[in-house]
């Protein structure tokens, strides 16, 4: 029997629920308007498959590959998918908060749903996304489901400090990726959109394992503190440098891109602290690499008295910036051939030709690099894509 107030029921029922109860409550809400079977999936850390978080109406469910299933298409395109068969009708609805993709919910009906039932199912999936996002730190249910193998401590430390992988706003989108997912060490990135200014940073701490993760965590905290104190890029670089020299080991250092984008006029200001220069993409083509470095790696100011400088680039509507770590372009085959900057540029050009959303571009880039290296990355491979005033990739 259809209940048009399933969403209101879900809001009330979830008010004091545990994190792990939310998918079953969403399924119960959908049952009130005619759903027969509901499966909630979350994406694994490597973004290769969807893993069942909860199922109401049946037994265990195998993971679903993102690149080979209808459910995967719902996730990668952020669009509803559907199919009918002899045993009923299925909807696959993406679970996302803004543009941060969490997973997919599969909803089965005995017959083709009415427009009202579709609307209720979409509303319940959106509400579930909001609840999972706001409460995922209250328990481990989502984290445990996303792990297809044990995560090393260095990876735990790295992921704990990252922002959501995707940001979409009226005039700008940001998407990041970090590999290898379970063993990462020294790479990290951050962003914040405050008013008309987008702040972005990518860090690559020297070394591997727990030591590199600890240094990366210190750097990230110093960066956020400087940003929230209102420091400009040069003073931010100085503040991070001082923190590393005061708290880390004498030989520790971090390469970095520190950047700001005025989203109203496209002015991109950045400093490269010993880091590879970003790629500038215009009209679907990589037109240049930005100047690098413009200063020493952070933590090495005592070695050489060389001031960091800030460069400025005026973006055009639709332009994109690709920030990457050297581990990405240095990924190599068993025979020793590196992925390289040319392959990175070629990949970006193809992704733009296919009009992929920013988040999907980064997901596919991570998979391409990992496959190129035979699933044996020697260093962290990290990238951040910024797109300014690009209607094709806002979602």
Across residues 379-386, what is the average pLDDT?
94
**pTM for the whole structure:** 0.92
Domain with CATH 3.60.40.10 in the chain: 152-393
Six token digits for residue 359? 């988040």
Which stretches within 288-357 are classed as H helix? 326-329, 340-353
Query: Longest Cα pair distance anywhere in the chain, in angstroms?
Result: 75
Quick: pLDDT tens for 299-314: 998 877 778 899 999 9
Domain with CATH 3.30.450.40 in the chain: 6-145
Quick: pLDDT tens for 125-155: 999 999 999 999 899 999 999 999 999 898 8
- In this prediction, residue 393 has a pLDDT band, given cuts at 50, 70 and 90, of very low
pLDDT of residue 302: 82
pLDDT of residue 209: 86
Quick: pLDDT tens for 165-219: 999 999 999 999 999 877 777 999 999 999 999 999 999 999 888 999 999 999 9
**pLDDT > 70 fraction of the chain, expressed in percent and rounded:** 96
Across residues 383-387, what is the average pLDDT?
97
Q: What is 152-393's CATH topology?
A: Phosphatase 2c; domain 1 (3.60.40)
DSSP states of 234-287: HHHHHHHHHHHHHHS-TT--EEEEEEEEETTT-EEEEEEES-PPPEEEETTEEE
6-145: CATH superfamily: GAF domain (3.30.450.40)
Which stretches within 4-140 are classed as H helix? 6-13, 22-31, 70-77, 115-135
Across residues 33-42, what is the average pLDDT?
93
pLDDT of residue 1: 44
Sign of CA dihedral 78, 79, 84, 89: positive
- Residue 60 above 70 pLDDT? no
- Residue 77 above 50 pLDDT? yes
């Amino acid at each position: 029997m259809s209940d048009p107030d399933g969403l209101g029921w879900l809001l009330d029922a979830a008010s004091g629920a545990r994190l792990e109860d939310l998918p079953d409550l969403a399924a119960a809400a959908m049952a009130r308007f005619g759903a027969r079977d509901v499966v909630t999936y979350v994406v694994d850390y490597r973004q290769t498959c969807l893993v069942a978080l909860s199922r109401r109406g049946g037994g265990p469910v195998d993971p679903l590959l993102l690149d080979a299933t209808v459910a995967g298409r719902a996730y990668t395109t952020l669009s509803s998918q559907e199919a009918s068969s002899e045993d009923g009708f299925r909807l696959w609805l993406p679970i996302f908060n803004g543009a941060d993709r969490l997973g997919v919910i599969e909803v089965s009906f005995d017959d083709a749903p009415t427009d009202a039932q579709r609307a209720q199912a979409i509303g319940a999936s959106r509400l579930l996304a909001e609840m999972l996002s706001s409460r995922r730190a209250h328990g481990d249910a989502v984290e445990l489901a996303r792990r297809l193998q044990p995560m090393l401590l260095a990876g735990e430390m790295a992921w704990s400090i990252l922002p959501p992988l995707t940001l979409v706003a009226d005039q700008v989108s940001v998407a990041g990726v970090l590999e290898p997912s379970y063993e990462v060490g020294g790479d990290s990135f951050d962003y914040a959109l405050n008013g008309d200014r987008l702040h972005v940073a990518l860090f690559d701490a020297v070394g591997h394992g727990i030591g590199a993760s600890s240094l990366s965590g210190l750097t990230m905290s110093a960066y956020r503190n400087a940003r929230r104190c209102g420091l400009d890029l040069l003073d931010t670089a100085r503040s991070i440098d001082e923190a590393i020299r005061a708290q880390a080991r004498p030989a520790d250092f971090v390469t970095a891109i520190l950047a700001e984008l005025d989203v109203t006029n496209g002015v991109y200001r950045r400093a490269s602290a010993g880091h590879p220069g970003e790629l500038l993409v215009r009209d679907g083509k990589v037109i240049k690499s930005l100047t690098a470095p413009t200063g020493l790696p952070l933590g090495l100011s005592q070695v050489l008295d060389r001031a960091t400088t800030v460069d400025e680039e005026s973006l055009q509507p639709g332009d994109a910036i690709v920030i990457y770590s050297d581990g990405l372009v240095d990924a190599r085959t068993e025979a020793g051939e590196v992925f390289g900057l040319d392959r990175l540029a070629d990949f970006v050009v193809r992704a733009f030709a296919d009009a992929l959303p920013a988040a999907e571009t980064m997901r596919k880039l991570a998979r391409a690099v990992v496959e190129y290296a035979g699933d044996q990355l020697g260093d962290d491979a990290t990238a951040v894509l910024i797109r300014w005033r690009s209607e094709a990739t806002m979602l």
